[in-house]
Chain A
Amino acid sequence: MEFAPVIGLEVHAQLKTRTKIFCSCSTRFGAPPNTHVCPVCLGMPGVLPVLNQAVVEYAMRMALATDCRIAPESRFARKNYFYPDLPKGYQISQYELPIAEHGQVNITRPDGTRKKIGITRIHMEEDAGKLIHDPDRSISMVDYNRTGVPLIEIVSEPDIESPEEAGAYLRQLRAVLRYLDISDGNMEEGSFRCDANVSVRPKESEQLGTRTELKNLNSFKFVEKALAYEINRQIRVISENGEVIQETRLWDMDKNRTFSMRGKEEAHDYRYFPDPDLVPLKIDEDWIARIQADLPELPDQRKDRFMAQFELPAYDADILTASRELADYFEACLRQVENPKLVSNWVMGNLLGLLNAEGKTIEETPISAEEMAELLKLVNDEVISGKIAKTVFDEMVASGKSPKAIVEEQGLVQVTDASAIEAVVDAVIDRCPNEVASYKAGKKKLLGFFVGQVMKETQGKANPQMVNQILKEKLG
Chain B
Amino acid sequence: MELHTLTIHEAARMLEKREISAIELTDAVLERIHTLDPLVDAYITVTADAARQRAKMADQMIAKGEGGRLSGIPLSIKDLICTKGVKTTCASRMLEDFHPPYDATVMDKLNAAGAVMVGKVNMDEFAMGSSTENSGIKATKNPWDLSRVPGGSSGGSAASVAADMCMGSLGSDTGGSIRQPASHCGVVGIKPTYGRVSRFGLVAFASSLDQIGPLAKDVTDAAILLNAIAGYDSRDSTSINRPIPDYTSGLTGDIKGIKIGIPKEYHAAKGVSESVTAAIDQAISVFKNAGAEFVEITLPHTDYAVAAYYLIAPAEASSNLARYDGVKYGFRSPEGQGLLDMYKNTRSRGFGAEVKRRILLGTYALSAGYYEAYYKKASQVRTLIKQDFRNAFEACDVILAPVAPSPAFKIGEHIDDPLRMYLSDIFTLSANLAGIPGLSVPCGFSTEGLPIGLQLMGNYFDETTLLNAAYYFERQTDFHRQKADLSRALNQ
Query: Which residues of A line the B interface, CB within 8 A?
Result: 39, 42-51, 78, 80, 82, 84, 87-90, 142, 269, 271-273, 276-279
Which residue of A45, A84, A87, A279 contacts B238 across the interface (Cβ within 8 Å)?
A279
CA distance A46 to B325 in the complex (A): 15
7 A-B pairs whose Cβ atoms sit less than 8 Å apart in the complex: A44-B101, A46-B80, A46-B202, A47-B102, A87-B323, A276-B206, A277-B237
The CA-CA distance from A42 to B322 in the complex, in Å, is 13
When A45-B100, A269-B367 are in contact, do A51 and B319 touch as well, CB less than 8 Å?
no
Interface size class of B (residues with CB under 8 A): 35 or more
B237 with A80: CB separation less than 8 A: no
Inter-subunit contact B98/A48 (CB<8 Å): no
Q: Does B219 contact A (CB under 8 A)?
A: no
B237 touches A47 (CB 8 A): no
Residues of chain B in range 248-268 having any CB-CB distance to chain A below 8 Å? none
Contact A273 B371 (CB under 8 A): yes
- Residue-wise, chain B 17-57 has the 8 Å CB interface mask toward A (1 for contact) of 00000000000000000000000000000000000000000
Q: Which residue of A lies closest to B95 (CB)?
A: A45
- Are A276 and B208 touching (Cβ within 8 A)? yes
Instruction: Collect the chain A residues with CB atoms within 8 Å of residue B100's CB.
Output: 39, 44-46
Q: Is the CB of A45 within 8 A of B200?
A: no
Q: How far is the CB of A92 from chain B (nearest CB, A)?
A: 11
Contact A88 B322 (CB under 8 A): yes
Q: Known pairs A45-B98, A50-B234, A278-B237. 10 more at Cβ < 8 A?
A: A44-B323, A45-B323, A46-B202, A47-B201, A48-B199, A84-B339, A142-B327, A276-B208, A277-B207, A277-B237
Complex alpha-carbon distance, A84 and B80, angstroms: 24
Q: Roughly how many angstroms separate A179 CA and B81 CA in the complex, as a whole number?
A: 46
Docked complex Cα distance between A78 and B319 (Å) = 8
Within 8 A of A (CB), among B365-412: 366-368, 371, 375
- The answer to whether A39 and B238 touch (CB under 8 A), given A45-B323, A277-B207, is no
Contact (Cβ within 8 A) B328 A48 = no
Q: Is B470 among interface residues, defined by CB-CB distance under 8 A?
A: no
Q: Does B235 contact A (CB under 8 A)?
A: yes
Closest to A270 in B: B368
- Whether B363 and A48, one on each chain, are in contact in the complex, defined by CB atoms closer than 8 angstroms, is no
Most chain-B CB neighbours within 10 Å: which of A39, A90, A276?
Answer: A276
- Are A276 and B327 in contact, CB atoms less than 8 angstroms apart? no
Which chain A residues border B234 with CB–CB below 8 Å?
A: 50
B195 nearest in chain A by CB position: A279
> Roughly how many angstroms separate A273 CA and B311 CA in the complex, as a whole number?
13
Q: A42-B328, A45-B88, A45-B90 are in contact. Are A279 and B237 (CB under 8 A)?
A: yes
A80 touches B366 (CB 8 A): yes
Tell me the smallest distance from the CB of B477 to a CB of chain A, in Å.
37
Q: What chain B residues lie within 8 Å of A50 (beta carbons)?
A: 234-237
Which parts of B181-240 form the interface with A (CB within 8 Å)?
199-204, 206-208, 234-238
B355 contacts across to A, CB distance below 8 A: none
Q: Which 9 A-B pairs have the closest CB atoms?
A: A89-B322, A276-B208, A271-B366, A276-B207, A45-B203, A46-B203, A46-B201, A46-B82, A43-B323
With a cutoff of 8 Å between Cβ atoms, the chain B residues found around residue A42 in the complex are: 328
Complex alpha-carbon distance, A45 and B350, angstroms: 15
The reply on B343 being an interface residue by CB < 8 A is: yes
B367 touches A271 (CB 8 A): yes
Most buried by B among A87, A89, A271: A271
CB distance from A132 to the nearest CB of B (A): 14
Chain B residues with Cβ below 8 Å from A89 are: 319, 321-323, 325
A271 touches B363 (CB 8 A): yes
Task: For residue B479, give the distance in angstroms from its CB to the closest CB of chain A.
Answer: 35
Q: Which of chain B's residues have a CB closer than 8 A to the CB of A51?
A: 237
A88 and B327 alpha carbons, distance in the complex (Å): 10
Docked Cα-Cα span, A87 to B315, in Å, equals 19
| Residue in A44, A82, A273 whose beta carbon sits within 8 Å of that of B322 in the complex | A82
Which single residue of chain A is at the shortest CB-CB distance from B81? A46
> In the assembled complex, which residues on chain B have CB atoms less than 8 Å from the CB atom of A82?
322, 325, 343
Given A50-B235, A269-B367, A277-B237: A44 and B329 interface contact (C-beta under 8 Å) = yes
Q: Decide yes or no: A273 and B201 within 8 Å by CB, A46-B100, A90-B322 being known contacts.
A: no
- Determine the chain A residues whose CB is within 8 A of the CB of B203 once the complex forms: 45-46
Question: At the interface, yes or no: B434 with Cβ under 8 Å from chain A?
Answer: no
Q: How far is the CA of A90 from the CA of B366 in the complex (A)?
A: 13
B316 at the interface (CB under 8 A from A): yes
Chain A residues with Cβ under 8 A from B236's Cβ? 48, 50
- How far, in angstroms, from A142 to B328 measured CA to CA in the complex? 10
Docked pose: A458 CA to B98 CA in angstroms: 84
Q: Does B104 contact A (CB under 8 A)?
A: yes
- Bound Cα distance A43, B203 (Å): 11
Please, how many angstroms separate the alpha-carbon atoms of A51 and B238 in the complex? 12
> Complex Cα distance A87/B330, Å?
13
Q: Which residues of A contact B368 (CB under 8 A)?
A: 269, 271
Residues of the A chain whose Cβ atoms lie less than 8 Å from the Cβ of B321 = 89
Question: Given the complex, which residues of A lie within 8 Å of B323, measured CB to CB?
Answer: 43-45, 87-89
Contacts A46-B201, A46-B202, A82-B322 given; indicate if A87 touches B328 (C-beta within 8 A).
yes
A43 CA to B80 CA, complexed, in Å:
15
The CB with the most chain B CB atoms within 10 A, among A45, A49, A87, A89, is that of: A45
CB distance from B200 to the nearest CB of A (A): 5
For residue A39, which residues in chain B have a CB less than 8 angstroms away from its CB? Answer: 100-102
Assess the A49–B95 pair: CB atoms within 8 A: no
Contact A87 B319 (CB under 8 A): no
Return the chain B residue nearest A277 by Cβ.
B207
A277 to chain B, nearest CB (A): 5
Chain A residue with the shortest CB-CB distance to B238: A279
- Is A48 touching B367 in the complex (CB atoms < 8 A)? no
| Contact of B327 with A271 in the complex, beta carbons under 8 Å | no
- Chain B residues with Cβ below 8 Å from A80 are 318-319, 322, 366
In the assembly, what is the distance between CA of A90 and CA of B316, in Å? 11
* C-alpha spacing A12/B307, complex, angstroms: 39
Whether A49 lies near B237 (C-beta < 8 A) is yes
Closest chain-B Cβ to A262's Cβ sits at a distance in Å of 15
Q: Closest Cβ of chain B: how far from A263's Cβ, in Å? A: 16
Q: Which residues of the partner chain B approach A88 to less than 8 Å between Cβ atoms?
A: 322-323
How far does the alpha carbon of A45 sit from the alpha carbon of B323 in the complex, in Å? Answer: 8
Measured between C-beta atoms, what is the minimum distance from A360 to chain B in Å? 40
Docked complex Cα distance between A39 and B80 (Å) = 16
